[in-house]
Amino acid sequence: MDFRLSEEQEAIRQMALDFARDELAPHAIDWDQQKHFPVDTLRGAAALGMAGIYVRDDVGGTGLTRLDAAIIIEALATGCPAVASFVSIHNMCAGMIDRYGTDEQRQRLLPKLLTMEVLASYCLTEPGSGSDAAALKTKAVKDGDSYVLTGQKQFISGAGESGLYVIMARTGEEGPKGISTFVIEKDAPGLTFGANEKKMGWHVQPTRAVMLDGVRVPAENRLGAEGDGFKIAMGGLDGGRLNIAAASLGGAQTAFEKALAYVQERRAFGKAIGEFQALQFRLADMATDLEIARTFLWRAASALDAGDAEATKLCAMAKRFVTDRCFAVANDALQLHGGYGYLADYGVEKIVRDLRVHQILEGTNEIMRLIVARSIIGRK
Amino acid sequence: MHIVVCIKQVPDSAQIRVHPVTNTIMRQGVPTIINPYDLFALEEALKVRDHHGGEVTVLTMGPPMAEEALRKALTYGADRAILLTDRHFAGSDTLATSFALSQAISQIGNSFDTPDIVFTGKQTIDGDTAQVGPGIAKRLNLVQLTYVAKITSIDLSARAITVERRSEGGTHVLKSELPCLITMLEGTTVIRRGSLDDALRAARSEIVKWNAAEAGIEDITKCGLRGSPTVVKRVFAPTPREQKAVQIDTTEKRVHDIANELVASIFTHQPALQHELSSAGSA
């Protein structure tokens, strides 16, 4: 076993790092302050193949692995973790359509997602169901050749701006087996959006509620079989969790590098503060945490690519560990900047704010522990 | 259409420091990049290819690690990369470099397709001589179009090219026959960004490696140190001048008077110069 990236992985990493350095990092603070959703920049990333990372190439996808995706998302996140996270969400939706869609659905829906001419949002969470996703209440009632959807989705990234919504709704019994997945276009009558939520971080992407009031969806927009929706939703999430972890890692890496540069410049008591052993030890711990996080993230991603039976457990472990540790690293980086770390211009507080939500979404870190516990102790 | 672009891997001069005591360049830890002027040449070559069809071959001479620069060029969209590497090339000055590169370009013509255009950057940021491009043109008997800011048109059927060449006081519009050699000016264009597919293709590509013999070079005395008459006698960091620049207010006085005062003040500081100039004037 060797833990080095292949030449191909090194090449895509470098390419994504260059994009992050040139196209994301210089604007990240402004976008955050202005709450600007950089759709043009996202389309620029799409033109380079980053909107269909694991979509097969017959429809123009890049056809890469989950490990490759984790490498790309981490690299993008060094420029802006919140933009990288949106790229991840969009890729998760595209990946679900690629994996579970019929050939007709793939040909019809994927090309415009791959250019990001149309953005995609993932709609699982509801006002009354987050962690307990299988309790969702949005109903889809079959009516002739179509379904009529009624309900509400909550905390939807990109909502109002996205053109395509991948929505989980109940077509049958209570619990996970009664759920199906639908793809709905923005202009569908009865589909409306709530106000843009005021959030702690992730300012570069809008978050809104999605309201469905008798939205008629043709049956050809159902993804997979009736009742497969929960499986499809969770299938997308394993990879989504790796990407959110990767986004934390990229953000924390940048915060760490900013802190490393700062302690060598900032002087106190007659020397650079980086010469104080207490701060050197802190930096050593941060660097170690980043290495551990990265190594384990790649391990989980490789397991998912290999179809390992333990992949879901490993992905949950990785999501919990990496997002927790990386938040701590970013927060430490802020502390090392002293009062300047609290100022927006230094870019560290933004990373801390952006990374905080990674411990909550794509399954809270408490639910990650539940997944791990169930897999090692068994479900009681 | 076949285009050859000569590139060079150089230390990122923005990050180079000169050792304060030994006056030698401290290269350690300095990242290498593709000579920025060569990127303008590469982008122009890719544009010509995209418009007229054909292939772009990138060529460099350097140590094995120069392969990195070629791979980077492939990620931008070049079709083929050739690394000219041999210990016989070590220590080449511009004469020996242009000899080796011109031989390799002839060999590229034999092995693949005769180039219609050879591109170089206007100069490199480490040597700054701007001699290699013209040196290649001379040896290959190609028309040389130096300091080109823009390619206006290419007429493949008439084998003609029109370019704008920037020069002191204006722009030359030049029309030439193909094949030719072009040295590209900076700031003419922005190198494109390679996609994930390009990065993957570059990583998977075979870099063609030629030693002197494979490049068709028979006379290796023209290569490397042996073929390089240039001798570096001393490298030093210039000492800062004592005199500071002065901003002159021209609203009150006539320019002619200001000039006379300036000349007088220069002669006060350097009487020898006054003597030298006046004797030259009387000769």
Verify that A204 and A253 share a domain, yes or no: no
Contact: B196, A10; criterion CB under 8 Å: no
Q: Which of A186, A210, A228 is the last residue of a domain?
A: A228
Contact: A15, B194; criterion CB under 8 Å: yes
Verify that A101 and A133 share a domain, yes or no: no
CB of A54 less than 8 A from some CB of B: no
Q: Which of A228, A247, A263 is the last residue of a domain?
A: A228
Give the model's confidence band at A272: pLDDT under 50 very low, under 70 low, under 90 confident, else very high. very high
CB of A53 less than 8 A from some CB of B: yes
Which chain B residues touch A18 with a CB distance below 8 Å?
193
| pLDDT in the model for residue B236 | 75
Q: CA-nearest residue of chain A to B192?
A: A48
Q: What is the pLDDT of residues A57-100, one digit of tens each?
A: 999 999 999 999 999 999 999 999 999 999 999 999 999 999 99
Contact: B199, A7; criterion CB under 8 Å: no
Verify that A143 and A209 share a domain, yes or no: yes
| pLDDT in the model for residue A279 | 98
Per this entry, what is the length of chain B?
Answer: 283
DSSP, residue by residue, A11-47: HHHHHHHHHIIIIITTTHHHHHHHT---HHHHHHHHH
| pLDDT in the model for residue A193 | 98
Instruction: List the CATH number of the domain containing A177.
Output: 2.40.110.10
Name which of A9, A15, A17, A54 to mutate to probe chain B: the one with the most chain B Cβ atoms within 10 A of its Cβ. Answer: A15
Checking ipTM against 0.90, whether it exceeds it is no
Q: Is a pLDDT exceeding 70 seen at residue A294?
A: yes
* Count of Cβ atoms closer than 10 Å to residue B112 Cβ: 16
| pLDDT in the model for residue B251 | 76
| pLDDT in the model for residue B254 | 79
DSSP, residue by residue, B121-164: ES--TTT----HHHHHHHHHT-EEEEEEEEEEEEETTTTEEEEE
Q: Whole-model pTM?
A: 0.87
Percentage above 90 pLDDT, chain A: 96
Would A1 be classed as within a structural domain? no
Contact: A49, B202; criterion CB under 8 Å: no
- Give the closest of B71, B193, B196 to A12, CB-based: B196
CB of A59 less than 8 A from some CB of B: no
Verify that A317 and A351 share a domain, yes or no: yes
Alpha-carbon distance of A379 to A34, in angstroms, equals: 46
Would A247 be classed as within a structural domain? yes
Instruction: List the CATH number of the domain containing A348.
Output: 1.20.140.10
The catalytic residue positions of A are: 362
Would A2 be classed as within a structural domain? no
Q: Strand ranges (DSSP E) for chain A?
A: 120-123, 139-143, 146-157, 164-170, 179-185, 191-193, 207-218, 222-223, 267-268, 271-272
Enclosing domain of residue A322: 230-377
The total number of structural domains in chain A stands at 3
Which chain A residues touch B199 with a CB distance below 8 Å?
8, 11-12, 14-15
**At B154, which amino acid appears?**
I
- Give the closest of A11, A22, A50 to B202, CB-based: A11
Alpha-carbon distance of B225 to B248, in angstroms, equals: 49
| pLDDT in the model for residue A228 | 96
Q: In which residue ranges of chain B is pLDDT below 70?
A: 280-283
Verify that A140 and A276 share a domain, yes or no: no
Lowest mean pLDDT among A39-53, A313-327, B229-243: B229-243
| pLDDT in the model for residue B282 | 57
Verify that A309 and A296 share a domain, yes or no: yes
Tell me the torsion sign for CA atoms A280, A284, A285, A289: positive
Q: Which of A228, A260, A293 is the last residue of a domain?
A: A228
Verify that A31 and A19 share a domain, yes or no: yes
Which domains occur in chain B, in start order? 2-222 (3.40.50.620), 241-283 (no CATH)
Instruction: Give the gap in angstroms from C-alpha A51 to the nearest C-alpha of chain B.
Output: 11
Would A252 be classed as within a structural domain? yes
Verify that A254 and A190 share a domain, yes or no: no
* Count of Cβ atoms closer than 10 Å to residue B135 Cβ: 22
Name which of A12, A22, A24, A91 to mutate to probe chain B: the one with the most chain B Cβ atoms within 10 A of its Cβ. Answer: A12
Verify that A234 and A372 share a domain, yes or no: yes
Would A306 be classed as within a structural domain? yes
Give the model's confidence band at A380: pLDDT under 50 very low, under 70 low, under 90 confident, else very high. low
Q: What is the pLDDT of residues A9-23, one digit of tens each?
A: 999 999 999 999 999
Tell me the torsion sign for CA atoms B35, B36, B38, B39: positive
| pLDDT in the model for residue A89 | 95
Q: CA-nearest residue of chain B to A72?
A: B196
Question: If you average pLDDT over residues A209-231, what whole number do you get?
Answer: 97
Verify that A58 and A177 share a domain, yes or no: no
- Give the closest of B194, B195, B203 to A8, CB-based: B203
Lowest mean pLDDT among A131-135, A184-188, B239-243: B239-243
Verify that A125 and A161 share a domain, yes or no: yes
Compute the mean pLDDT over every residue in chain A, rounded to the nearest whole number.
Answer: 96
Instruction: List the CATH number of the domain containing A16.
Output: 1.10.540.10
Question: If you average pLDDT over residues A244-260, what whole number do you get?
Answer: 98
Contact: A48, B203; criterion CB under 8 Å: no
Determine whether B251 is exposed, middle or buried from the number of CB atoms within 10 Å of its CB (0-12, 13-18, 19+). Answer: exposed
Which chain A residues touch B202 with a CB distance below 8 Å?
11
CB of B194 less than 8 A from some CB of A: yes
CB of A87 less than 8 A from some CB of B: no
CB of B197 less than 8 A from some CB of A: yes
Q: Is a pLDDT exceeding 90 seen at residue A258?
A: yes
**Which B positions 199-228 lie with beta carbon below 8 A of chain A?**
199-200, 202-204
Verify that A67 and A189 share a domain, yes or no: no
